[in-house]
Structure 1
Amino acid sequence: MDLPLRPPVAPMLARAVPALPEGDFSYEPKYDGFRCVVFRDGSEVELSSRSGRPLTRYFPELAEAFRRELPERCVLDGEVVVRRGGRLDFEALAQRVHPAASRIALLSRETPASYVAFDLLALDGESLLELPFAERRARLARALGAARPPVHLTTITASREEALRWFDRFEGAGLDGVVAKPVDAPYTPGARTMFKVKHERTADCVVGGYRWHKSGPVVGSLLLGLWDDGGLQFVGVAAAFPMALRRSLVELLAPYRMPGLAGHPWASWATQGEEERMPGAVSRWTGKKDLSWVPLRPELVCEVAYDHLEGRRFRHNVQFRRWRTDRTPESCGYAQLERPAGYDLDRILG
């Protein structure tokens, strides 16, 4: 590729803050997808993930769209998303990363991806990294002025009040917060020079097991469940603990350890499908990573903070808050979880 920037380029990142900053900022919705830097030089197109991993082979329909809709020579920063039922669907997006070419081809037709562009890093033979964001954004808007779906230009506002309204409304379309960008800032690859505010709620969950930490015999993560009509559903993990607490958890959890899966609510999951896979199942994301776990009698309840659900699971790892000795495990179900009001994604992307 004959571009002023060549793959991989580490995308500029955002730092989590409790409230949207005020001042000279531009505000954008935060999309729940795969961060992706796109490189186009004529017929050559490459998609690069946040970590620099090549994504091109997984999204052939986007590569073809970029050849139609993007300027002849450019580098863009944005998000790959899958939209279903008027909202973003991260689980469907995750399924797009598959080793089999035949499966990739099938999914590109059944669950086609879209691309939401929010920055322009290079155009023709010029690197734009040193330009202030306001100028990069203006040039991006001109460059994508005639672009058609599945390529979209993200909506943007200079009004903090409008961004706060987005924060409340857009969650119903599967978005997970708002990003604030300093209007005069250059593009700094890999640096956390933007700010993000994400949704956070709390839930009381049953602790159904734990995994050991990679450093040794201390607790690495707690495996969490919620009761529904079908039993105890695995919903996610809490993994961010200080080392001292990881050590103390070994002793705290010891009385609840079970010698095996017999009698555990998750014992039958080994024979069920992908949607109900047990917590130790191997995934395409972790490869050969050790996902073995220690079953616990489902009697402990803890409160965790989470951002949102994806299907019947927490979208990201949750944050442990406290033990809830006042709650019974049977009382911890999905009814306690707040569901945002629906919002049509087409009203955001156009």
Structure 2
Amino acid sequence: MLRRVQSTSRVAVVRRGSTARLWTRNRNDISDRFPDIVAAAEKQLPDGSVLDGELVILGADGRLSFDALQQRLVTSPAKARAKAAQLPAAYAAFDLLAIGGVDLRTQRWTARRQRLEQLAAGWAPPLQLTPVTSDVDDARQWFEVLPAAMGVEGLVVKGAATRYTPGRRDAWVKVKHRETREVIVGGVIGPIDRPEVVIAGRYRAGELVMVGRTVPLSVADSHQLGAVLRPATRGHPWPDEIASVLWGGKDSKKPLTKVRPDVVVEVLADAAMQAGQWRHGLRYVRYRADMQPDDVPTLSEPSEAG
């Protein structure tokens, strides 16, 4: 069985008595940030039900917007209702863990899905059901069309007989859709002649801005790229240190080796974006000796990076 992956925040909805709460994977209660989802859950879910799903917000371009979700998450409770009207969210459920107080996690995925579909038959927005398919051709079409059309990251493949095991991912596989992109090497982590990670950039209004970083380079790629990099001259706009991880990590920093921004490389990137940067590590493909920085697309808006 397959379901779509969406570039969003995974959240459990728990309905007990007359109240509903939203819980993140880190066990943070974010109910006061999403009063619209809470109200819908209290109205449409029966007592003793627990859903697993994702919060989603569509931007003006019709694509899923992680930035909009972040705005909702950081909004103060006092302003949450106004922000909900400005950036309405939806909740896309993909699993049912309990209903009527009965734990369903030991049941097969197909049984849980059937119960979830029965429950969702009476829903209205902002509650919705994440679509699934067992048809390989449908899955391939989703995989090719949805990332470009909606910003969906890819697919999750699940076994029909699997049980729900908290904290374990061996019962499902995430298949991310990646496309090649050209970026400018603005800096690296590690020595300039043996770079470990590329810090990618693109220009916006004449200024080189960071748009992402690669996963660690192979030894061969490091040697190839290190042979063409040159130290940056004065006036390089980037800081001397950079966060040691992409997102959500501690405040530890690593030295940034700034380089002359005249080398273009090809990377593989998925559709997940936040604050104008790729949220997940880019995969280095090759050095583009045939391209100049002027050949790389520029950024027209703060939220755009590809």
Contact 1:219 1:249 in 2 (8 A): no
Partner of 1:28: 3
Of 90, 93, 100, which aligns to 1:114?
90
What is the rounded CA distance, in whole Å, between the counterparts of 1:109 and 1:124 in structure 2?
A: 31
What is the rounded CA distance, in whole Å, between the counterparts of 2:152 and 2:40 in structure 1?
A: 23
The reply on whether 1:178 has 2:149 as its aligned counterpart is no
Q: 1:198 to 1:191 in 2, by over 3 A?
A: same
Partner of 1:303: 266
Equivalent AA in structure 2 for residue 92 of structure 1: A
Equivalent AA in structure 1 for residue 47 of structure 2: E
Report 1:100-139 matches (<5 A).
100-139=76-115
What is the rounded CA distance, in whole Å, between the counterparts of 1:113 and 1:237 in structure 2?
A: 29
The reply on whether 1:201 has 2:197 as its aligned counterpart is no
Q: CA deviation at 1:60?
A: 2.3
Partner of 1:6: none
The reply on whether 1:322 has 2:297 as its aligned counterpart is no
Partner of 1:347: none
Q: CA deviation at 1:166?
A: 1.7
Contact 1:71 1:143 in 2 (8 A): no
- Partner SS, residue 38 of structure 1: strand
What is the rounded CA distance, in whole Å, between the counterparts of 2:127 and 2:154 in structure 1?
A: 21
Q: CA deviation at 1:246?
A: 11
Deviates more, 1:308-317 or 1:296-305: 308-317
Partner of 1:11: none
- Unmatched tracts of structure 2, length 5 or more: 300-306
TM-score by length of 1: 0.71
Partner of 1:77: 52
Identity rate, percent: 29
Equivalent AA in structure 1 for residue 266 of structure 2: E
Q: CA deviation at 1:185?
A: 1.1
What is the rounded CA distance, in whole Å, between the counterparts of 2:105 and 2:297 in structure 1?
A: 48
What is the rounded CA distance, in whole Å, between the counterparts of 1:115 and 1:150 in structure 2?
A: 6
Partner of 1:160: 136
Equivalent AA in structure 2 for residue 201 of structure 1: E
The reply on whether 1:263 has 2:235 as its aligned counterpart is yes
- Partner SS, residue 74 of structure 2: coil
What is the rounded CA distance, in whole Å, between the counterparts of 2:259 and 2:47 in structure 1?
A: 57
Root-mean-square deviation (CA, aligned residues, Å) is: 3.3
- Partner SS, residue 261 of structure 2: strand
Equivalent AA in structure 1 for residue 285 of structure 2: R
Residue deviations 1:240-279 (CA, integer Å, cap 9, x gap)? 346x689979976984145xxx522x36x9xxxxxxxx97
Equivalent AA in structure 2 for residue 191 of structure 1: R
Q: 1:182 to 1:201 in 2, by over 3 A?
A: same
Contact 2:51 2:97 in 1 (8 A): yes
What is the rounded CA distance, in whole Å, between the counterparts of 2:120 and 2:279 in structure 1?
A: 31
What is the rounded CA distance, in whole Å, between the counterparts of 1:241 and 1:99 in structure 2?
A: 38
Contact 1:37 1:47 in 2 (8 A): yes
Contact 1:42 1:67 in 2 (8 A): no
What is the rounded CA distance, in whole Å, between the counterparts of 2:230 and 2:13 in structure 1?
A: 52
Contact 2:75 2:83 in 1 (8 A): no
Report 1:284-295 matches (<5 A).
285=248, 288-290=251-253, 293-295=256-258
TM-score by length of 2: 0.80
What is the rounded CA distance, in whole Å, between the counterparts of 2:146 and 2:225 in structure 1?
A: 41
Q: 1:239 to 1:95 in 2, by over 3 A?
A: farther
Residue deviations 1:307-340 (CA, integer Å, cap 9, x gap)? 13648543422112233334323322259xxxxx
Partner of 2:22: 47
- Unmatched tracts of structure 1, length 5 or more: 1-25, 270-277, 336-350
What is the rounded CA distance, in whole Å, between the counterparts of 2:140 and 2:247 in structure 1?
A: 36
What is the rounded CA distance, in whole Å, between the counterparts of 1:232 and 1:251 in structure 2?
A: 20
Residue deviations 1:223-256 (CA, integer Å, cap 9, x gap)? 21124554434321113346x6899799769841
What is the rounded CA distance, in whole Å, between the counterparts of 1:289 and 1:103 in structure 2?
A: 32
What is the rounded CA distance, in whole Å, between the counterparts of 1:105 and 1:290 in structure 2?
A: 37
- Partner SS, residue 95 of structure 1: helix
Q: CA deviation at 1:142?
A: 1.3
What is the rounded CA distance, in whole Å, between the counterparts of 1:105 and 1:291 in structure 2?
A: 40
Q: CA deviation at 1:287?
A: 6.9
Q: CA deviation at 1:36?
A: 1.1
Of 35, 39, 53, which aligns to 1:64?
39
Residue deviations 1:162-218 (CA, integer Å, cap 9, x gap)? 1212222222022222222211111122222112322111122111123569xxxx9
Q: 1:279 to 1:92 in 2, by over 3 A?
A: farther
